[in-house]
Structure 1
Amino acid sequence: MKYMNSLNGLFTNYLAWIVIVVAAVALTLPDSLLWASPYTALFLQIVMFTMGLTMKVSDFAAVFKKPWLVLLVFVMQFGFMPVSAFLLAKAFSLPPEIALGLILVGAVPGGTSSNVITYLANGDVPLSITATSISTLLAPIFTPLVFMFYGGEYLDISFWSMFQSIVQVVLIPIVLGLVINSLFHNHVKKVEGTLPTLSSVAVLLVLGGTVAINQESLIHTGALVFLVVFLHNMSGYAVGYIVGKLIRTNKATTRAMALETGIQNTGLAASLALTHFTPTTALAGAAGTIVHTLFGTIYANLCRKKDIKKAEEVSVPNSLESAS
């Protein structure tokens, strides 16, 4: 267990750098990770299953405690993020396949990594977990609907085929994990220390396989893809932060709202793109995994440093008063 805790700590503290290393290996030595590309859906099922294993029915009590905040995050995720992606695709005159990939990133639910990054940023973790869970469970309906609405301009999209894919990749594994945890909680508790590492490895394999199969395309169009994905990610942070300030939530809640809006399930976007479209459509998902993790971690570090600095500023006057 001590070994697993060390591994979990490694992924938590250095996830952004591990993501960059895996992406670099996939770009320079694509054959080493090309084998993973046909199994992206399976790896995502593992991620969703581990998510379900960590969930309890009581966790959703937070929905009733802060229903309007969860609803607000949901609206920003499935309302603003697809619009932002569509407008960026138009502004940069993206080729249809890349535009579809970006819109797909905007149409998927919040990413599970947002929960870890919210924790690192001293954000409202219960809100983050609840918002991610709700958006993920409702993704089979809302992701195809939103994607059809904005992506239909580029290509005819089948709602039912995408609905079935998301049910198989997302909903069934989560519900299965939730049921197993409810029935065999004591047994699950014995292995829960392995779940963060297992989930992280699965996400990295999705990234590696997607980047490897798109190596040539990333080399030729990578700069543009990374730019629009970065702008899309930052637009989510901005709207989440602004809305949080407008409704005068506390600092922790505002940070959670910004992260939940900005960080999307890019692994799901890449998997859906590979299943239903072309590897080129998966480019935005692959780039998003790198961008969202890297800049999410940077944002979290900045938040923690700001909190430490503020705490030090408060402690200095208090210590002076005590001395006097």
Structure 2
Amino acid sequence: MSALNSLLPIALAIIMLGLGLSLTAADFRRVLEQPRSVVVALVCQVLLLPAVCFGLAIGFGLIPELAVGLMLLAASPGGSIANIFSHLSNGDVALNITLTAVNSLLSLLTLPIVVNLSLAYFMGEGRDVPLQPAKILQVFALVLIPVIVGMVVRRHWPAVAARMDRPVRLLSVLVLALMFALVFVSAREALTTHLTTVGVVVLIFNVLSLVVGYTISRVAKLGKPQAIAIAFEVGIHNAALAITIALSPFLLANPTMAIPPMIYGLTMVVTAVGFGLLVNRTSRPA
């Protein structure tokens, strides 16, 4: 266990390096071209989702560790898989890439805040909250530095970035599989005990995330491709990031908190495919 725990920061760095290799400065500049779409997505991601998640945790009476794990999942940004689902579902992939870039940086502030508040509420105010300023700096370093390195490599050595992309993606998949196994071994008793309840909550949260992103976008009179893009960006969370933060001895170090993102990681593909088929069932987006 200790050997695997020591690998978790490296795992997080690999995952975020892969994200950096897919981003360019243009992805951030594109915010100026679609400000309304970005604002709608951020309102859903930063404000609505944590509120929905909090309501589900309270309503279903999740034990504190699982409640915090669910809130951690809600606060985690989207990842490159959201871009893939958006492409397959006729969404605005350029908007997805922009939102991934913005959300990834914004989560450096929002994720510690949401997790801290969740720990204080669900675990008790007298508990020592792990994500204090020193820990926030650790998250900042573990997340932002690999992203910057990836972006620099892509900017100055595009051929190297292209060669690195596939191996880094494969390594990220292997790392994620290892983390799933670690969660199962470390928290199998809690997983067995609470599987039915937390599984239902995670599924509801996943579906609501997609529906909220799409519905709010359409209410805001955004086009269908933009609404699809926002739905996947808001509804597909980076389970690997959430699992790593939950397990890392430098951060939360609680395998039970990793159970919601683990279950989410196993079910989100099914819900994402179903959602993509549903929104495209009558006609292709204009």
- Contact 2:27–2:101 (Cα < 8 Å) also in 1: no
| 1:66-85 per-position Cα deviation (integer Å, ceiling 9, x unaligned) | 12211221221121111111
Larger radius of gyration, structure 1 or 2? 1
Task: Say yes or no: does 1:206 pair with 2:179.
Answer: yes
Q: Distance in 2 between matches of 1:208 and 1:176?
A: 29
Residue 102 of structure 2 is matched in structure 1 by 134
SS state of the match for residue 59, structure 1? helix
Residue 98 of structure 1 is matched in structure 2 by 66
Task: Say yes or no: does 1:268 pair with 2:236.
Answer: no
Q: Distance in 1 between matches of 2:138 and 2:180?
A: 19
Q: Distance in 2 between matches of 1:253 and 1:65?
A: 13
Q: Distance in 2 between matches of 1:145 and 1:193?
A: 33
- Contact 2:37–2:222 (Cα < 8 Å) also in 1: no
Identity of paired residues, percent? 27
| 1:1-37 per-position Cα deviation (integer Å, ceiling 9, x unaligned) | xxxxxxxxxxxxxxxxxxxxxxxxxxxxxx9xx9756
Q: Distance in 2 between matches of 1:38 and 1:233?
A: 30
Structure 1 residues 241 and 196 mapped into 2: Cα distance closer, same or farther (>3 Å)? same
Residue 17 of structure 1 is matched in structure 2 by none
Structure 1 residues 62 and 203 mapped into 2: Cα distance closer, same or farther (>3 Å)? farther
SS state of the match for residue 171, structure 1? helix
Of 126-135 and 184-193, the range deviating more from structure 2: 184-193
1:103 Cα deviation from its structure 2 partner: 1.1
1:303 Cα deviation from its structure 2 partner: 4.6
Q: Distance in 2 between matches of 1:238 and 1:37?
A: 36
**For 1:1-324, what aligned pairs fall within 5 Å after superposition?**
39-155=7-123, 156=127, 157=129, 158-275=131-248, 276-303=252-279, 306=281, 310=283
1:195 Cα deviation from its structure 2 partner: 4.4
Aligned residue type for 1:223: T
1:302 Cα deviation from its structure 2 partner: 4.4
RMSD: 2.3
| TM-score normalised per structure 2 | 0.87
- Contact 1:36–1:208 (Cα < 8 Å) also in 2: no
Aligned residue type for 1:173: P
SS state of the match for residue 154, structure 1? helix
Q: Distance in 2 between matches of 1:187 and 1:94?
A: 46
SS state of the match for residue 153, structure 1? helix
Q: Distance in 2 between matches of 1:177 and 1:82?
A: 29
| 1:177-218 per-position Cα deviation (integer Å, ceiling 9, x unaligned) | 111222212332344444443433333333333233222322
| 1:88-127 per-position Cα deviation (integer Å, ceiling 9, x unaligned) | 1110111111111111111222233211111121111111
| 1:127-161 per-position Cα deviation (integer Å, ceiling 9, x unaligned) | 11111111111222111112223432123423324
- Contact 1:225–1:284 (Cα < 8 Å) also in 2: yes
User: Which structure 1 segments of 5+ residues have no match?
Assistant: 1-30, 312-324
- Contact 2:72–2:115 (Cα < 8 Å) also in 1: yes
| TM-score normalised per structure 1 | 0.77
Aligned residue type for 2:241: L
Q: Distance in 1 between matches of 2:118 and 2:193?
A: 26
User: Which structure 2 segments of 5+ residues have no match?
Assistant: none
Q: Distance in 2 between matches of 1:51 and 1:67?
A: 22
- Contact 1:162–1:272 (Cα < 8 Å) also in 2: no
1:162 Cα deviation from its structure 2 partner: 3.9
1:169 Cα deviation from its structure 2 partner: 2.8
- Contact 1:115–1:128 (Cα < 8 Å) also in 2: yes
Structure 1 residues 292 and 196 mapped into 2: Cα distance closer, same or farther (>3 Å)? same
Of 213-222 and 69-78, the range deviating more from structure 2: 213-222
- Contact 2:41–2:234 (Cα < 8 Å) also in 1: yes
